[in-house]
Structure 1
């Protein structure tokens, strides 16, 4: 099965390359904002036209003129270079890709999949630009990565890059470190079948509890480094904004945040891979994380466990390796149902009730019982889908 895979590495550009990366990021942001501004002007014009048409002052007009035209905009990048000479210094493909990103954002907006695109700011925490593979302009040579305009850039090679390279995204983090993510198209072989099914109940006390009772500890990475982060932020608040010492301390704060992020991402990858390797069918609850985050008492703890990111990893890994992840409706009472007889105990709505005994005599541990119910519901949904029975 051909899939798109991303290989992320830290790169160590020299001063000349750093300057060019920063220029490319700035130019990509400029092009994105330029065409977004033009599109907003056009939308404002057609909004006025439509209002006048409704009042009978003008004939009806074609609203398709409002839509963002990707191909005309990409052609216009060449003309833009004649007016802004600094755009000629950087990789031209990255500028075209910036327009494509704006077009894709508008396509999702037209389909009501996200909000309208916003202007990019220099104050954003992470800055990136993307360039595409053309005539071997992106390649890996032992300890170096060849990138357009930059030439050979030294990188920390942690694994081999497999498959046909499609594009590369260069990222500058607040910590001052630079990374590259190389997207390739590669062949992935399905994992051997285990004939095992499970349900995954996500929680805060334990990160995840499976139907067989397996527990994955919630490491609370933010909590672990919270005191160190607080002290670093206190020092930062006493520095003069924009000074050299302020910038040094800002980098220290950013690196603590980066360390928390790296630890969490590593844990999520290892946990999701372990579950996928050992089970063919995985049932998981479709939690509305954005709604749960509205509770101020648990918002920080929920943000720290990254349930959404974990589900995303489970889904794409299941697709790669021939497994099935079934999302169970958020209205399904996984904790309240007895996994033995199906009796619904409404008292279990109280999160403080960790264990209970059903009328049938079965004794349940709350989280494991929820995992069993999610497993059974996932199998039922797969069976219904296969047979077409409602």
Structure 2
């Protein structure tokens, strides 16, 4: 199937190019914030609701009122207004909160729909040419771009790094059926427990934020002692931002590797339908829930399953997967979150609550298996996924992250 796919590369602008990009970021941010403020004022004062075509017609007048906007790519300003339109639509659908004003110290992005050029110079080097910038920007091209390039955007992260995002439309071939299903129970103590009919796999929670918390506290204390706005304050702020970005990168790397390994090894994947917004209101567990990123993980599973022709199944949100005995079906309504193991009073089976939940979810997935087989042998259960030439095997009963580097799943 053909789908949209984004390639992300690190770029290394020089001082002159950085100044140019910062101007572009600023102009796009100005347009976004201006129309957000105007739309709020119009609604509160006159009751006029957001309408994209109305504010789109005001953009040329705004450029005449503020001549400095002519320094920016006109298409980039239009995309900035389109992004505000998307933010409003998501708010009206109930999928996001009310649009917020963009800040200078947050992540900055400029979109360039046309008139750009990407050239590959050597195996891992390339250059980017964009409108109104005379000199090309060096790119670290760690892989080839496949598919039809639709547009690009340049992002500056809070830690001061610049990235090129290339949106393409490419063909992704669906994977061959393997006639396997998996029930996945996510948690905090362990990131996930996966049952595939023969084996129960445990994936440890890497807890990247928790491991870096002491260092973050130290850096934030140093930042608080600096005079706000001074050069030393900016240096300290960047150190804090770099540490936060490192945690984000580690977490994303881990989630991508786990999700692609699962997608490649199972036809049907059953995951819980969690009320994460409600769960994160718990003051005692909110930090751990945010760090484990269940929502991002499930989202990755969903779009990768769509790419590769796999099936994602979500049972009813109120299905008691942990409380229901996977052997006889008895429901233990007295089971609390603090109880990690319990014995079924009917069949006398002793359950680990997470393993029991994954087994119940696995039973739901059996109905969606292809090929007519229900069970898998131990050898068949030891499948492997591959990303970038590296193997990620769901073969042992437990996996762990190695130090602070990119996670690798290893036998214990």
Per-residue deviation, 1:147: 2.9
Per-residue deviation, 1:127: 1.6
Q: Are residues 1:371 and 2:358 paired?
A: yes
Identify the range of structure 1 (170-179 vs 310-319) with the bigger mean alpha-carbon deviation: 170-179
The match for 2:139 among 149, 155, 161 is 155
Does the aligned pair in 1 maintain the 2:111–2:153 contact within 8 Å?
Answer: yes
**2:326 aligned partner:** 339
Q: Distance in 1 between matches of 2:29 and 2:337?
A: 49
**1:307 aligned partner:** 294
Q: RMSD across aligned C-alpha pairs, in angstroms?
A: 2.0
Q: Distance in 2 between matches of 1:70 and 1:252?
A: 39
The match for 2:349 among 359, 362, 370 is 362
Q: Distance in 1 between matches of 2:162 and 2:351?
A: 50
Q: Are residues 1:141 and 2:128 paired?
A: no
Summarize the Cα distance change of 1:148–1:327 in structure 2 as closer, same or farther, 3 Å threshold.
farther
Structure 2 alignment gaps of length 5 or more: 370-412
Per-residue deviation, 1:208: 0.3
**2:8 aligned partner:** 8
TM-score (norm 2): 0.82
- 1:175-232 CA-partner distances (Å, limit 9, x unpaired): 1111122111110001111100011000111100001311111111112111111111
Q: Are residues 1:81 and 2:60 paired?
A: no
Alignment map for 1:152-301 (pairs within 5 Å): 152-211=136-195, 212-301=199-288
Does the aligned pair in 1 maintain the 2:330–2:344 contact within 8 Å?
Answer: no
Per-residue deviation, 1:12: 0.6
Secondary structure (helix, strand or coil) at the match of 1:214 reads strand
**2:408 aligned partner:** none
Q: Distance in 2 between matches of 1:139 and 1:229?
A: 38
Per-residue deviation, 1:362: 3.2
The number of residues matched between the two structures is 361
Per-residue deviation, 1:72: 4.7
Per-residue deviation, 1:37: 2.9
Per-residue deviation, 1:67: 4.2
TM-score (norm 1): 0.87
- 1:228-263 CA-partner distances (Å, limit 9, x unpaired): 111111222222222111111111111111111111
Summarize the Cα distance change of 1:160–1:90 in structure 2 as closer, same or farther, 3 Å threshold.
same
- 1:124-176 CA-partner distances (Å, limit 9, x unpaired): x21222221x2x52434332123333352112212111111122221111211
Does the aligned pair in 2 maintain the 1:356–1:366 contact within 8 Å?
Answer: no
Per-residue deviation, 1:6: 1.1
The match for 1:127 among 99, 108, 130 is 108
Structure 1 alignment gaps of length 5 or more: 48-65, 384-390
**2:34 aligned partner:** 34
Q: Distance in 1 between matches of 2:30 and 2:21?
A: 14
**1:22 aligned partner:** 22
Does the aligned pair in 1 maintain the 2:263–2:304 contact within 8 Å?
Answer: yes
Does the aligned pair in 1 maintain the 2:3–2:171 contact within 8 Å?
Answer: yes
**1:107 aligned partner:** 89
Per-residue deviation, 1:355: 4.6
Q: Distance in 2 between matches of 1:275 and 1:118?
A: 36
Q: Which has the higher helix share?
A: 1
Does the aligned pair in 2 maintain the 1:338–1:358 contact within 8 Å?
Answer: no
Q: Distance in 1 between matches of 2:140 and 2:270?
A: 37
Does the aligned pair in 2 maintain the 1:328–1:378 contact within 8 Å?
Answer: no
Q: Distance in 1 between matches of 2:137 and 2:248?
A: 25
Identify the range of structure 1 (37-46 vs 18-27) with the bigger mean alpha-carbon deviation: 37-46
Q: Distance in 1 between matches of 2:289 and 2:92?
A: 31
Q: Distance in 2 between matches of 1:140 and 1:241?
A: 41
Does the aligned pair in 1 maintain the 2:116–2:128 contact within 8 Å?
Answer: no
Q: Distance in 2 between matches of 1:73 and 1:108?
A: 18
Secondary structure (helix, strand or coil) at the match of 1:329 reads coil
Per-residue deviation, 1:76: 3.3
Summarize the Cα distance change of 1:81–1:184 in structure 2 as closer, same or farther, 3 Å threshold.
same
Q: Distance in 1 between matches of 2:25 and 2:73?
A: 10
